[in-house]
C-alpha cells in the first residue's frame, strides 16, 4: 500500500516545500523595532551570501534544500535525506546568530533584530517539510528495481 502512496507523498512534500519557500520570499524576514524595516525574503536570498563573511552559514542551507527538491521532483532518483538534514543542520547552527543580525534599517543605519518574522518562519517550514518528504520518500519502481550491492547473492534471480 505504501508503494502506491509514496510517489504522491513525495510530490506533495516537494510542492508544499517549494510553495512555502516561494511564499517566504515575499515576506519580511526579521522582527524590527517600531519605525524600522526588515529585509524581504528575496533580498536575503540575493544578498544573504555576504553573511558568510561573518561566519553565519544560514544562507548555505538553500543549496542542499534545492538538491532535495531536485531529487523529490525526479521520479527515478533515490531521494537522499542527508541533503535535507544538511539544510536543517546549517539552519540550526545559525540560530544563535539571530539576535546579532543587523537586519533592521532606519535612515540607512542597521539595527539588531528582535527575532524572526513570517518570511523566516516560512523558510524554516519549507526546510522542515523537505526533511519529512525526503525521509518518507521511497524510490520509484525504476530506481528500486536494480539489485542492491549488499543483498544476498543466493536470493538473486539468475538472468536468462
pLDDT band at 77 (very low <50, low <70, confident <90, very high): low
In a domain, 15, yes or no: yes
In a domain, 82, yes or no: yes
In a domain, 149, yes or no: no
In a domain, 14, yes or no: yes
pLDDT band at 15 (very low <50, low <70, confident <90, very high): very high
Q: Which backbone phi and psi does 64 adopt, to 5 degrees?
A: -65, -30
In a domain, 159, yes or no: no
Structurally, the chain folds into a number of domains equal to 1
Question: pLDDT of 115-148, one tens digit each?
Answer: 788 888 898 899 889 888 888 776 544 444 444 4
In a domain, 148, yes or no: no
Q: Which backbone phi and psi does 46 adopt, to 5 degrees?
A: -75, -45
pTM: 0.73
- The C-alpha atoms of residue 55 and residue 52 are separated, in whole angstroms, by 5
Q: Which backbone phi and psi does 32 adopt, to 5 degrees?
A: -115, 160
In a domain, 34, yes or no: yes
Residue 130's closest CA among 43, 49, 75, 65?
A: 65
In a domain, 17, yes or no: yes
- Give the domain range for residue 135: 2-143
Amino acid at each position: 500500500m505504501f508503494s502506491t502512496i509514496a510517489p504522491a507523498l513525495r510530490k506533495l512534500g516537494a510542492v508544499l516545500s517549494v510553495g512555502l519557500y516561494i511564499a517566504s520570499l515575499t515576506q519580511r524576514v526579521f522582527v524590527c523595532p517600531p519605525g524600522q524595516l526588515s529585509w524581504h525574503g528575496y533580498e536575503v536570498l540575493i544578498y544573504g551570501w555576504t553573511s558568510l563573511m561573518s561566519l553565519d552559514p544560514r544562507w548555505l542551507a538553500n543549496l542542499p534544500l534545492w538538491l532535495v527538491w531536485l531529487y523529490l521532483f525526479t521520479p527515478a532518483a533515490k531521494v537522499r535525506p542527508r541533503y535535507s538534514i544538511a539544510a536543517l543542520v546549517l539552519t540550526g547552527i545559525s540560530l544563535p546568530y539571530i539576535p546579532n543580525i543587523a537586519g533592521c534599517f532606519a535612515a540607512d543605519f542597521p539595527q539588531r533584530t528582535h527575532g524572526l518574522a513570517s518570511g523566516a518562519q516560512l523558510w524554516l517550514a519549507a526546510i522542515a517539510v523537505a526533511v519529512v518528504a525526503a525521509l518518507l520518500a521511497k524510490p520509484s519502481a525504476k530506481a528500486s528495481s536494480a539489485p542492491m550491492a549488499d543483498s544476498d547473492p543466493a536470493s538473486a534471480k539468475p538472468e536468462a
